[in-house]
A and B are shown apart, each in its own frame.
Chain A
Amino acid sequence: MGAVEKPRTEVAAPASWDYAPSLEGREIVSLERRYGLYIGGKHISPKSRSWFTTISPATEEPLAEIAQAGQKDVALAVGAAREAFRTWSRRKPAERAKVLFRIARVLQERARELAVAESLDGGKPIKESRDVDLPLAAAHFFYYAGWADKLEYAFPGRSPKPLGVAAQIVPWNFPLLMLAWKIAPALACGNTVVLKPAETTPLTALLFADVCRQAEVPPGVVNIITGDGSTGAYLVREKGIDKVAFTGSTEVGKAIQRELAGRDVSLTLELGGKAANIVFDDCALDQAVEGIVNGIYFNQGHVCCAGSRLLVQESIHDQLVRKLKRRMATLRVGNPLDKNTDVGAINSSAQLERISELVQSGIDEGAELYQPPCRLPEKGWWFAPTVFTNVAQSHRIAREEIFGPVLSVLTFRTPDEAVEKANNTMYGLSAGVWTEKGSRILWMADRLRSGVVWGNTFNRFDPSSPFGGYKESGFGREGGRHGLEPYLRFE
């Protein structure tokens, strides 16, 4: 049908239609050879005199030299923030709002540059940094800009006052977005900040220093210090801080909490997760599959609220798993700067090792592994999208956070059993419920002990919606009106 009988050069009709590479240009980011610390509005060399290299996890190519802040550098940064707090906290709230609005607009203007930098340094697909990280980061600043002069209305009769200097430590999975989650509410409430980005992804935070300059953030209000875990430890131990906000592993979160015991420093922790994505037999099946894929393969599974445990009603298990495996085969793994890439690089060799170790434990404990055929690049750190079936609650892959593109499938028979299994974890950050029955979503949400419950969707974020954990997933809320509270004291 269709072909006409006349000579013509056949366009190759391949068995599969391979999309040609479509690379986002990286020229838009001009990186310096070296980045110092951003303290008191200036870029300065670290007193520690030590530097480390940040690399692209997709190619192992070195990108820039980054300062390793020592104890003296940390003290300097906290001092600068303390100094700036005196004037910033007394500024007219509407003036603070203006600064935040300007930051939001500069982020939008420089979105493409920052998205490329994020993908280069962190390995995430450009479509995600472009369509998720950057728009949400800007949205957070817009949202909290709006609250800056309305704090009295947010907490009527409670005379909200800023806390002082906030020490903020953010992870490597959403570097700029987590920076926005931390800095926007802190500044809106009149605090000043010292922020430490993760060791493997410092670039966008350092570019954000330039955003602050453009947005005319007064010197010392935002300070960026870079380094490894020791820098973070110095920051938490520093005398002049009033608050610590940490997003990262449960292990480090616990250490911070121990460190702060007995000190007048308030704390919020957003830690790990092992979220249950619960699929009932009456759900819209193909859309549930999309939600499952988005829940676990989004950002290579480097998501604290990732839907890493799939709880599926036994009656549709086989059909759902079949659909899921076929969908996984269409995931395009590869160059993060290719606009068609769905799954990018694993953030670091250490993380790849951890994922590999846990996946091996899954195999050893008798779960059944499936990975779609896909060619992984030779250089850099990669892990194919993975699903385990025949997983038991007792397996390590059902209990421990893997923080990689690895899904564990378990089954349930009744709603009660689904709740019981979903809650049977040390974590409690998020959960998803897939059903056509609205009343069942509400019934489940009442019983699931997790900070977020998504209904017929997953990994959806909005600045107006509070986010945070139960149990070992941490405490305190970020986002929404609730997200202001950890940055205020009340008289």
Chain B
Amino acid sequence: MSQTVALPRAFELPGGGRLPRLGSVDAVSLEGRAAELAKRSIKRESKIFALDLAIRMIDLTTLEGADTPGKVRALSAKAIRPDPGDANVPSVAAVCVYPTLVAVARRALAGSMVKVASVATAFPSGQAPLDVKLADVRAAVEAGADEIDMVIDRGAFLSGRIGEVYDEVVAVKEACGGAHLKVILETGELGSYDAVRRASLVAIAGGADFIKTSTGKVSPAATLPVALCMIEAIRDVYDETGLVVGMKTAGGIRAAKQAIQYLCVLHETLGAEWLTPDRFRFGASSLLNDLLLQLRKQRTGIYRSPDEFTLD
């Protein structure tokens, strides 16, 4: 483990780009802007587009102690075909499980385009020795995970050992091999938007393909202002270096209406190029059925019974 806390080393971005200034975030104005964007009124065809897109962006997730192969197989079937009654409804982006269930998901999703994502690095606390975390990652990748959702070491971050956080992201990235790396900041534990911005930049500098708000195990999880804060950091990195980093919000997003608010924040901050599952994800489970319900409502004009949609 590196002893250094020297930021300059930590901020060498892949590709040798220039560092966006660390900068600061004004909480009042950030929350004001997020609240303003939450008021966008999305109707008709633009709503159908958003609902369809949100489905394609879902990492359909189960992260319980009680997860079993049966549960994961059911979830995978849902991921491939969320609405058996409507062939026009797309598949979700990925299924997200614990490392021990990656192999099950891999088999269940064979032949589909749905990815397998796995949490790793002693999720959700991240409180384990580095070699254990790296072994966790390697095991998930070997079992067939396309994407790894790691957690940062908040203990290190909050005690000022920023260099250690960075080194760990670098090490996990290396352990990922070809798998995509999503770095969970657990923003609910970081305490301020300034810290969220700093953690975003550290994760990106360390090689994150995506940065992600939360584990879903801590409250508050994703909020609109936190997402805006991280998206602004992604935008600054893109402006300064051309590096494209994706964004994942997770935890507490259950309603289609909320999902659309996140898409408005994304759209009006990073632009239409980010409106793709390659660059944005929702970590969610119950959100999917509300999206299906709302999509059916938009297409038929009628709210159907929730019983028409499968619970998996």
Report which A residues bind B (CB closer than 8 A).
1-9, 11-22, 127, 131, 282-288, 290-291, 322, 330, 339-340, 436, 456-457
Distance in Å: Cβ of B235 to nearest Cβ of chain A: 8
Q: How far is the CA of A4 from the CA of B83 in the complex (A)?
A: 13
Q: How far is the CA of A292 from the CA of B76 in the complex (A)?
A: 48
Q: How far is the CA of A339 from the CA of B113 in the complex (A)?
A: 38
Q: Which of B29, B40, B89 contacts A340 (CB 8 A)?
A: B40
B46 touches A287 (CB 8 A): no
Q: Which of B26, B42, B87 contacts A456 (CB 8 A)?
A: B26
Contacts of A8 in B (CB 8 A): 87-90
Q: Which of A1, A5, A12, A456 contacts B277 (CB 8 A)?
A: A1
Pick 23 A–B contacts, CB within 8 A, sort by A.
A1-B113, A2-B56, A2-B93, A3-B113, A4-B90, A4-B113, A5-B112, A11-B52, A12-B49, A15-B272, A17-B272, A19-B42, A20-B42, A20-B44, A20-B46, A22-B43, A282-B24, A286-B25, A287-B30, A287-B33, A290-B32, A339-B39, A456-B28
Q: Which of B23, B92, B272 contacts A284 (CB 8 A)?
A: B23
Give the interface SS of chain A, mostly helix, strand, loop or mixed.
loop
Distance in Å: Cβ of B246 to nearest Cβ of chain A: 10
B87 touches A20 (CB 8 A): no
Given contacts A17-B267, A284-B23, contact A3 B29 (CB under 8 A): no
Distance in Å: Cβ of B43 to nearest Cβ of chain A: 5
Q: How far is the CA of A127 from the CA of B277 in the complex (A)?
A: 31
Q: Closest chain A residue to B89 by CB distance?
A: A8
Contacts of B138 in A (CB 8 A): none
Q: Closest chain A residue to B233 by CB distance?
A: A286
B91 touches A457 (CB 8 A): no
Q: Is B169 in the interface zone, CB < 8 Å from A?
A: no
A284 touches B113 (CB 8 A): no
Interface string of B1-31 (1 = CB under 8 A from A): 0000000000000000000000111101110
Q: How far is the CA of A286 from the CA of B47 in the complex (A)?
A: 28
Q: How far is the CA of A340 from the CA of B46 in the complex (A)?
A: 13
Q: How far is the CA of A304 from the CA of B57 in the complex (A)?
A: 45
Q: Is B41 in the interface zone, CB < 8 Å from A?
A: yes
Contacts of B263 in A (CB 8 A): 17
Contacts of B88 in A (CB 8 A): 8-9
B41 touches A3 (CB 8 A): no
Contacts of A4 in B (CB 8 A): 80-81, 90-91, 112-114
Contacts of A339 in B (CB 8 A): 39-41
Q: Closest chain A residue to B114 by CB distance?
A: A4
A20 touches B24 (CB 8 A): no
Q: How far is the CA of A14 from the CA of B113 in the complex (A)?
A: 22
Q: Is B232 in the interface zone, CB < 8 Å from A?
A: yes
Contacts of A284 in B (CB 8 A): 23-26, 29-30
B93 touches A14 (CB 8 A): no
Q: How far is the CA of A447 from the CA of B57 in the complex (A)?
A: 52
Contacts of A19 in B (CB 8 A): 40-43, 46
Q: How far is the CA of A282 from the CA of B24 in the complex (A)?
A: 8
Q: Is B77 in the interface zone, CB < 8 Å from A?
A: no
Distance in Å: Cβ of B252 to nearest Cβ of chain A: 23
Q: How far is the CA of A4 from the CA of B277 in the complex (A)?
A: 13
Contacts of B24 in A (CB 8 A): 282-284, 436
Distance in Å: Cβ of A153 to nearest Cβ of chain B: 32
Distance in Å: Cβ of B241 to nearest Cβ of chain A: 14
Q: How far is the CA of A17 from the CA of B46 in the complex (A)?
A: 7
Q: How far is the CA of A382 from the CA of B264 in the complex (A)?
A: 26
A22 touches B41 (CB 8 A): yes
Q: How far is the CA of A127 from the CA of B41 in the complex (A)?
A: 11
Q: Which of A1, A17, A436 contacts B275 (CB 8 A)?
A: A17
Distance in Å: Cβ of B196 to nearest Cβ of chain A: 13
- Interface contacts beyond A2-B91, A2-B278, A21-B43: sample of 18 additional A-B pairs, CB < 8 Å, sorted by A: A2-B56, A2-B90, A3-B56, A17-B267, A17-B272, A18-B46, A19-B40, A20-B42, A20-B45, A22-B42, A22-B43, A283-B24, A286-B30, A286-B232, A340-B41, A436-B24, A456-B28, A457-B28
